Structure 1
Amino acid sequence: MSNDLSPAQGSAPVLTVRDLTVSIPGLRDRPHAVRDIHFDLMPGEILCIIGESGSGKSVTANTVMGLLPDVMRVDSGEITFHGRDLLKMPESERRRMRGREISIIFQDPLSALNPLMTIGDQVREVLDAHGVGSPDSRAARVVEMLTEVGLPDPALIQHQYPFRLSGGQRQRVMIAMALALDPEILIADEPTTALDVTTQAQILELIRKVQRRKGMSVMFITHDFGVVADIADRVIVMEKGNLVEQGPAEKVLHAPEQPYTKKLLAAVPTLRDTDRPRIDDKPVVMEAKHLQKTYRTRSGFLGRMREVHAVNDVSFTLRKGETLGIVGESGSGKSSMGKVLMKLMPADGGELRFEGEDILSLDETNFRSMRPQIQMIFQDPYASLNPRFTVGQALTVGPLAHGLFTHDGARRRACEILETVGLSASAYDRYPHEFSGGQRQRVGIARALMFSPQIIVADEAVSALDVSIQAQVLELLNRVQRESRLSMIFITHDLRVASQICDDILVLHRGKVVEFGPPSQIFRNPQHEYTRTLVAAIPGAGH
């Protein structure tokens, strides 16, 4: 058991959920978001709820918090907190409880935080809403909470706006807001999904540390069994709104009873022991030499110029049909590198040769004819597709603009590619909102393949997906690569995924390459201290 503060034996549950059913309106794939679920949350316990997207995890959490959208309705069941049925409680009383007795950390801190308020004001707002303390004591409490969650220089950082903070720092602000009133129950809804491995490890340790010190009960929602292995006392497994298995973490992880649980465990990526077979005389399709990209910002009108070397003297060779992995924490320069390789952002120095020609020296007019040959799959399948375009429009607008197809030819090609990526041709006339996250990412892959490119740059292409969907998308990319002899540059913070799909790994730290080699060397015998830190932070690595 990972938690030092074990749940009190024989004590009454803090929260009890019995026969909870929440319906979904309209014609959906099922009538209920959750159906007849039941579980207890014990004092001082970390209970993990795990399942794929659409399993009902977040609906369960939002029902407990009283934050269900208006279109959803609780059909039956009860949720009791210290003997009080939350579902029968007046909204005014539920509002007083939120934050004070039951609090929540949301998955995406950037959308959950107000971009127009400083982070100090947002933490203070929680205290103001509940009328806690005096203005002076609230100001002191803000600094105290920002200190407790490990933010640097809290007295200064409280005056910053959310966009100035990294993803991990924003998540710490969310935790500070959730803990400001010392709640008895903390609900954490996928709080580490989009974070790199070291930041994720820090956030998990922070939640564990605060939970131990305050004796809180935690309901932790995740789709990653590696996280479950690190943090859980007990586990609930959900599938399509149904509770399929629950029990102590040790038992569910190592002796699961249900086929669905076994399937989820089997889909968790692991570090490979052997490298992918390779042929050394494959032609080189892209070569980088001493790439440089520096950001320069000035604080205030007369402030000092600040330089950040996002890409600092980076060199590599990419051969036909191979995959180069670029790994590192947030801020290591991975995404900046991807934008430079795509010529979405100018480099400040070095060479980048595609089929022997230095494309950095080409202006956009001269590079335009080459652009179809280097395509990108973006991290967020929700934001990267225009919601007003059908899937067919999203797939064909680029090739048509480049004059690669007639309208009929583009449609035929799009329908073929949709079948290739595991979607039916009927998807052509549907809109992105009609698809799940995994299906949308398949559309993103299809869009890149429409051009028959030589190189695909995949920027965190599976980081936001469930492990089972992630496994399917990785297999899809592997298959497409084998059939098309594509070369790939795979940018990721998940080292387990990188070991599955990459021929070589380039480890970036503050813009510099600190280690390079095949996955077996990088992950099984890392030479650099930074790489060793990344490997040690892999979720579930100690289990």
Structure 2
Amino acid sequence: MTAKIQTVDKPDVALSVRGLTVKLPKGMERAHAVENISFDLHRGQILCVIGESGSGKSVTANTIMGILPKAIDITGGSIQLEGREIVGMGPEALRSLRGRVVSMIFQDPLSALNPLMTVGAQIDEAMQAHGVGTSTSRRERGIELLTEVGLPDPELMYHQYPFRLSGGQRQRVMIAMALALEPTILIADEPTTALDVTTQAQILELIREIQRRKGMSVLFITHDFGVVAEIADEVVVMEKGHVVEQGSASAVLTEPTHPYTQRLIAAVPHLTGVDRVALQTENTDPILKVEGLVKTYHSGSRIFGTHRVVPAVRNVSLELAPGQTLGVVGESGSGKSSLGRLLVKLMDADGGKILFDGTDIAPLHEAKFRPLRQKVQMIFQDPFASLNPRMTIGRILTVGPVAHGMAVAKARDEARALLDHVGLDSRAFDRYPHEFSGGQRQRIGIARALMFKPKLLIADEAVSALDVSIQAQILQLLDRIQRETGVSMIFITHDLRVASQICDRIAVMQKGQVVEQGPPSQIFLDPQSAYTRELVAAIPGEQPASSGPVAVDF
């Protein structure tokens, strides 16, 4: 189904897309990345384009920017930027428009920024490419931009390299670069997907404030309806390369007409503020007990005066009951992932105890911990990076158990059974990771962890990079697996809405310390810590609903 729009010339339209069709190479799952799509971006407004992975959102943005891969061709339609037709425009003419008329903020600022150039040099390069100013004026403009996007100590930041900055700071640098030439149209491609809620709220407010102050038009690509509720004036919903619905944000959010839009909105995790009905187990002794755990990172050199000490985990204590899920939430840099890596012994603690099933594993060397490693498994954030691209799925699932003594035939049989259990066809056994979507790869990661029949799963941001509908499926899968196997989970996430859906208890971390622990009803409805209240208030488009304890039904 393609939404039909009449073609009307409007002086208030900054960007007009009409009948755009982009063809995919042969052998892909469909013929077109986008087919016959039309929409308008009005001056001074924010238009959100929303849809799942593969819906054509990013292809649309890249087409407007003129940065499509050579293998993908525009086969029809029109794109007008400020009244100028860009379909068929030459590379030099397109280059003159990029940055000056239309600019883009990319999803992953770390890969979009040059790691070998300082922040200032990259901002300077964007201006120099368009022949703007002298080196002195460009430097002044660069520092002014870094100040404008709210970065601390802009003059020092100007000389920093991207790897020294946090995720939120890198995203602010990307915004500064995009604003360098005062464009009239800003395209933001999933700029807050991997950010924690407070940083996300800051970036959304920054984009909205700059858009209002400068009167820019913003095309904001996202898969999060919470973000749409916070920032959008108009909404375009895309499914498999087609525009299926569009209208004002209030109309689409409150009265969606297309079944796909209704499904997307229904899949958004909501901050419930209610407690799950706990899984009943025979053994009530803690499966995991952490006492006074400490980890400090050291970098730089004492000789050259660059020595830096970062206390990542500071005197953390917590317990996890059998068959329950403990959520660990907090901002980037709060110590969540460091805690997870300590618990699975991917690095050693500097102090404290990790009592797993009654045994203190913190001081154990690898040789002594190896027999227990099967019982403590991890689900990683990036399912693609954590799967060996040169191995088949069958090999990935069986190599660990076979190394621990399981017979090859038995390992293969269990792997095929587990693939079916996590919702994948058993034929996936002979395929490679690149042949699967992000959600499917995450299911493979879960299956790999379950091959060892673990007692404890550490899920580190296991659903943060997934679309809301895929995210809902993975949460449902984890809930079902836990209720069937009784496995205990540490669920690390920066999304408090997700934590409220799947966790029995929640620990809030700030600067390496646990500042508050409790059930979801306390954490989200009656937070005791000022930091927790700040996290809850920053959740986009959400306020918790109060009610008594209920069973979570996925």
TM-score, normalising length: structure 1: 0.97
Matches within 5 A, 1:55-454: 55-278=55-278, 279=280, 282-298=284-300, 301-303=303-305, 305-403=307-405, 405-454=406-455
**Distance in 1 (alpha carbons) for counterparts of 2:161 and 2:69:** 28
Report the CA distance shift for 1:500/1:165 in structure 2 as closer, same or farther (over 3 A): same
**CA deviations over 1:383-421 (Å, ceiling 9, x no partner):** 111111111111111111111x22211111111110011
**Distance in 1 (alpha carbons) for counterparts of 2:306 and 2:90:** 55
Matched with 1:40 is 40
- What code does the residue aligned with 1:211 have? Q
**CA deviations over 1:420-478 (Å, ceiling 9, x no partner):** 11000011111111111111111111111111101000000000000000000000000
Residues 21 and 36 in structure 2, CA contact (< 8 A), matched pair in contact too: yes
**Distance in 1 (alpha carbons) for counterparts of 2:158 and 2:183:** 22
**Distance in 2 (alpha carbons) for counterparts of 1:103 and 1:461:** 31
Structural RMSD (CA): 1.4
SS at match of 1:461: coil
The alpha-carbon deviation at position 273 of structure 1 amounts to: 3.6
The alpha-carbon deviation at position 83 of structure 1 amounts to: 2.4
Q: Is 1:54 the counterpart of 2:54 in the alignment?
A: yes
Q: Which runs of 5+ in 1 are unaligned?
A: 1-8
The alpha-carbon deviation at position 305 of structure 1 amounts to: 3.5
Matched with 2:472 is 471
**CA deviations over 1:331-366 (Å, ceiling 9, x no partner):** 000000001001111101111111111001211000
The alpha-carbon deviation at position 150 of structure 1 amounts to: 0.7
Residues 11 and 42 in structure 1, CA contact (< 8 A), matched pair in contact too: no
Matched with 1:3 is none
- What code does the residue aligned with 1:20 have? L
The alpha-carbon deviation at position 272 of structure 1 amounts to: 1.6
The alpha-carbon deviation at position 283 of structure 1 amounts to: 2.9
SS at match of 1:181: coil
- What code does the residue aligned with 1:48 have? C
| Bigger Cα displacement from structure 2, 289-298 vs 121-130 | 289-298
SS at match of 2:227: helix
Q: Which runs of 5+ in 2 are unaligned?
A: 1-8, 545-554
**CA deviations over 1:242-280 (Å, ceiling 9, x no partner):** 100000000000011011101000011011242011259
| Bigger Cα displacement from structure 2, 380-389 vs 421-430 | 380-389
- What code does the residue aligned with 2:480 have? R
The alpha-carbon deviation at position 300 of structure 1 amounts to: 6.5
**CA deviations over 1:301-356 (Å, ceiling 9, x no partner):** 33154322111111111111100000000000000000100111110111111111
**Distance in 1 (alpha carbons) for counterparts of 2:543 and 2:23:** 40
| Bigger Cα displacement from structure 2, 275-284 vs 67-76 | 275-284
**Distance in 1 (alpha carbons) for counterparts of 2:86 and 2:141:** 29
Residues 270 and 542 in structure 2, CA contact (< 8 A), matched pair in contact too: no
Matched with 1:532 is 533
Q: State the 4+ residue runs in structure 1 displaced beyond 6 angstroms.
A: none
**Distance in 2 (alpha carbons) for counterparts of 1:183 and 1:271:** 37
Report the CA distance shift for 1:147/1:542 in structure 2 as closer, same or farther (over 3 A): farther
Residues 21 and 34 in structure 1, CA contact (< 8 A), matched pair in contact too: yes
| Bigger Cα displacement from structure 2, 293-302 vs 385-394 | 293-302
Residues 324 and 488 in structure 1, CA contact (< 8 A), matched pair in contact too: yes
**Distance in 2 (alpha carbons) for counterparts of 1:411 and 1:539:** 44
- What code does the residue aligned with 2:328 have? I
SS at match of 1:410: helix
The alpha-carbon deviation at position 297 of structure 1 amounts to: 2.3
**CA deviations over 1:159-214 (Å, ceiling 9, x no partner):** 11111100000101111111100001000000000000000000000000111111
- What code does the residue aligned with 2:536 have? V
Matches within 5 A, 1:488-503: 488-503=489-504
SS at match of 1:481: helix
TM-score, normalising length: structure 2: 0.95
Residues 417 and 450 in structure 1, CA contact (< 8 A), matched pair in contact too: yes
**Distance in 2 (alpha carbons) for counterparts of 1:200 and 1:502:** 22
Matched with 2:26 is 26
**CA deviations over 1:11-50 (Å, ceiling 9, x no partner):** 4311110001111112222111101100011100100000
The alpha-carbon deviation at position 542 of structure 1 amounts to: 6.1
SS at match of 1:208: helix
> How many aligned positions are there?
534
**Distance in 2 (alpha carbons) for counterparts of 1:284 and 1:130:** 63
Residues 273 and 522 in structure 2, CA contact (< 8 A), matched pair in contact too: no
- What code does the residue aligned with 1:352 have? I
**Distance in 2 (alpha carbons) for counterparts of 1:306 and 1:187:** 37
Matched with 1:4 is none
